[in-house]
A and B are shown apart, each in its own frame.
Chain A
């Protein structure tokens, strides 16, 4: 779907945020970018989204239309406080020129998919942190994007809410099979969610290793408490330690 070749980002201040990143994202991937803060993983995600331009290297899209077909979930829910949950989810459709009745219908369906049916007319400040994040995910998915980019979306939530949203996200992905690039600094989260875990090292941000969690491992009952989950976590954790030491 997308190949990054020699991608680098140097800010105007001279800081080299990302150096020589080569990475191929396949259709249907659930790929986690894992690394400590300051390893350029968010910058990389912003470049994939087209919000920042790389200062060197290039992004090669297999299908040029896909680069405009992106959903983005920020670390904060980033909702418009003056709009209801429904209107927030309708926004991408309305900006794309979809007629109001259709936009509304699709937004309602999407809210139901993230288990927020009945909360269409609630304003963000009436919703809990987890519910706001689900509105944000619904907004990102309402256009049925080919690529979903998520920038540490659950980092600000408590662990119980985070686990629940992890489950929900995984289920959505298994049902719809969009492509996900998920930025996180949690080893546990990356192993639970992603099939491909790209480990990044800081200063300058670069790719240090890649680990895979095969689908059949994840299919195990109670994956989160299984020995294979623990083994994967240990392995990824070592890769991260090596990356930080290098």
Chain B
């Protein structure tokens, strides 16, 4: 037996540790972004668009830097809600899906309500939650959680149920306890599904937090980024509004990238989705 060898991993020629495809994936959209910003700046100057209608990107950047002190405080508040909502969504979604996987009856009786929670527009129920819950922080958290939790629940449930039947038989053959089957077989199987859900929920919990802040913001009690957008809008400080908007989008992108990285690190050695030269 001499043909023992590891199957070759996909390796592309690269530059600075990143493959050419990777560079293309970074450079091409960056170029489009720069061109768009350039065109925007040029158009604003050429047509002399008033800054309260549409500020140019340079002015937005200046405003962002100048107001960084107060904006960063608001960013911190929004981030806090976002991450807490994501953490609660992840742990509760995971726990509930494990419960669903243990008992078909529980799954059948509760899953429809998770769907109802998911399809009800958060904007419509946020005012109610804010009225019912005294603590505004908690109210915002609940809103963000409602938006974020479903993808984790549904994805992880699918993952837990897609366990290899033969492996289940194997565990049974060796007399594994239900706990061992869950811990050593079902949860690892569900891991890629959970992480895919987490990536969606990361963005959603930010959206949930922002939407809830918008609703609460009219009461003047919240002080997160959404509130700053509202406030800037009322005062016609459009550059400030744009600066806050840039922060919101940037945060969303950062969350997505961080969760993608986490997923890649956890799965790269065994799961097809995280293989070298993956397409996403």
Contact = CB atoms under 8 A, between A and B. Distances in A.
Contacts of A82: 188, 191, 270-271
Contact of A78 (B7, B170, B172, B180): B170
B271 A127 contact: no
A50 B6 contact: no
A29 B169 CA distance: 24
A72 B6 contact: no
B167 A78 contact: yes
Nearest to B2: A115
B191 A128 contact: no
Given A95-B171, A124-B270, A115 B4 contact: yes
Contact of A126 (B7, B173, B176): B7
A49 B175 CA distance: 12
Nearest to B185: A80
Interface string A117-157: 01100111111101100000000000000000000000000
Contacts of B170: 72, 74, 78, 91
A49 B166 CA distance: 13
Contacts of B3: 128, 130
B173 A50 contact: yes
A92 interface: yes
B180 A95 contact: yes
B174 interface: yes
B105 interface: no
A49 B169 CA distance: 10
Interface residues of B, number: 27
B1 A78 contact: no
B9 to A, nearest CB: 8
Nearest to B272: A125
Contact of B269 (A119, A123, A168): A123
A200 B164 CA distance: 28
Interface in B154-210: 164, 166-167, 169-176, 180, 184-185, 188, 191
Contacts of B270: 81-83, 123-125
Contact of A72 (B7, B173, B175, B185): B173
A96 B175 CA distance: 8
Nearest to A149: B173
A53 to B, nearest CB: 13
B173 A131 contact: no
Contacts of B271: 81-82
A116 interface: yes
A68 B7 contact: no
Nearest to B174: A95
Nearest to A128: B7
B173 A78 contact: no
Among B4, B167, B271, residue most surrounded by chain A Cβ atoms (within 10 Å): B4
B59 to A, nearest CB: 51
B1 A164 contact: yes
Nearest to A131: B4
Interface string A65-80: 0001010101010101
B4 A116 contact: yes
Nearest to A72: B173
A126 B6 contact: yes
Contacts of A118: 4
Among B1, B172, B269, B272, residue most surrounded by chain A Cβ atoms (within 10 Å): B1
Given A95-B176, A131-B4, 19 more contacts: A68-B175, A72-B173, A74-B170, A78-B164, A78-B166, A78-B170, A80-B184, A81-B271, A91-B184, A95-B171, A95-B175, A96-B174, A115-B1, A118-B4, A119-B4, A122-B6, A125-B7, A126-B9, A128-B7
Q: What 9 pairs between A and B have smallest CB-CB spacing?
A: A78-B166, A95-B174, A82-B188, A82-B270, A74-B166, A81-B270, A115-B1, A126-B6, A123-B270
